[in-house]
Chain A
């Protein structure tokens, strides 16, 4: 995935300025920065979820496998299907069952042809998300009955059931207890085998633990991008250095 000259405005506020990024395949790419720096906005610009906000204006290009997703010819729902998204607050549909939460995406998008194929896909996604063993006996229970960590893994299952190219994660562990958060981090390392993962975090330690590449975003500007080991040990920019040792944010 490649982002070229991306600019975003909310009303008159210029919140993302000339962002240029290259994200390689099958890596975990972290975007870190203090709250309000535009991380979540950048993430939502990648799958055009930003368009839900009527005041948001976007210019620039986002290329996925050579296709500009901001091109006029591209259908926005198709774009969103290429990305799986996991949110800060675990947000399964509380009135649907565990099964239906995972099945709804493939069903609406016509990914499977038969009931048994759909069953298999749901099982596969739940296994991938390390949730199958905990819920296999009561898939018909409402999703609201699960714990916070389980709900977040259900959301991951819901995202990968769409067979996306890229998974976007918006501070996926911010609202979880440390044990549940650790489970999600382990899961991310596992999922890296098959997917490219872009994770937004305000916590530099998390970026250091899980990511291969990291970008530091500050006040809407991309300050530094590089391999995680390099950025954390030999940051080029003074601002980045201050941030990773915990003096900003």
Chain B
């Protein structure tokens, strides 16, 4: 066999290893979680329970926690990341643009454990004193704010996640915004639109990119583990308000897995949670990617 052929074969081998890894991960998730689904069926997903002594597991509260924290994160991050993208591609001159983009890239490459540490010791007390307590005291009659907050809870986790996902959402939006054809902006200005009206029109033009960025960021928020585990409170119960302590699927795995081997069904239960997380993340990312592709076709 000649060297070219051997080289090509080895390239092929390395390339398919990614498929093997992903396939093995899926298989190991299914194979390990299978006992809990066999024993409990759907009730594993639609009930709330975490009683290892009686081997009773239901992960609905953690699923809700994942949804609540990511919803808070998206609600906060979306206006911020759109503004960041528009600001750096439309409102400031080139030199500052590069600085802004570098800051945004740096935000994306900071380890989540550092976000978590800062969230736990700096952000959580600030939010507690200046946001959550005032909201609870004055607007506590609204169910969303009804729980008397402690610093670490679902809301804090949501805000921290928002900070973490802004650079991801905004870079997708930024790329689409700077790819808008110049002649469209000219058309808008020639109709006598002012800058804001042109920006609003262009945001409409790239709305599929905004959706794509949102979905990709949502996927990140749902999968994030350590930063959330450090500020979410880690209690298995149905959240009564945004200010309640809780779990997300990933933080549940992070904090329960170390003692899971002692029990018969806890490992399957946690893998079951991981499997759910995998399915949700995959669905959301596939939606995001297809949006991104539509954006390309659109042009």
Contacts and interface: CB of A to CB of B under 8 A. Distances in A.
B68 to A, nearest CB: 32
Interface residues on B, range: 20 to 34
Nearest to A83: B190
Nearest to A89: B183
Interface string A103-127: 0110011000000000000000000
Contacts of A188: none
Interface of A: 47, 49, 52, 54, 77-78, 80-81, 83-85, 87-89, 91-96, 104-105, 108-109, 144, 155, 158-159, 162
Contacts of B183: 87-89, 91
Interface in B169-224: 181, 183-194, 197, 201, 204-205, 207
Given A96-B204, A108-B197, A91 B189 contact: no
A95 B93 CA distance: 28
Contact of A80 (B190, B201, B207): B190
A81 B192 CA distance: 5
A77 B186 contact: no
Nearest to B205: A95
Contacts of A47: 190
Interface of B: 93, 181, 183-194, 197, 201, 204-205, 207, 298
Contacts of A80: 189-192
Nearest to B197: A108
A87 B187 contact: yes
Nearest to B194: A77
A77 B192 contact: yes
B298 A94 contact: yes
Contact of A87 (B186, B201, B298): B186
Contacts of B187: 85, 87, 91-93, 155, 158
A108 to B, nearest CB: 6
A49 B190 contact: yes
A93 B204 CA distance: 10
A107 B194 CA distance: 13
B186 A78 contact: no
A167 to B, nearest CB: 11
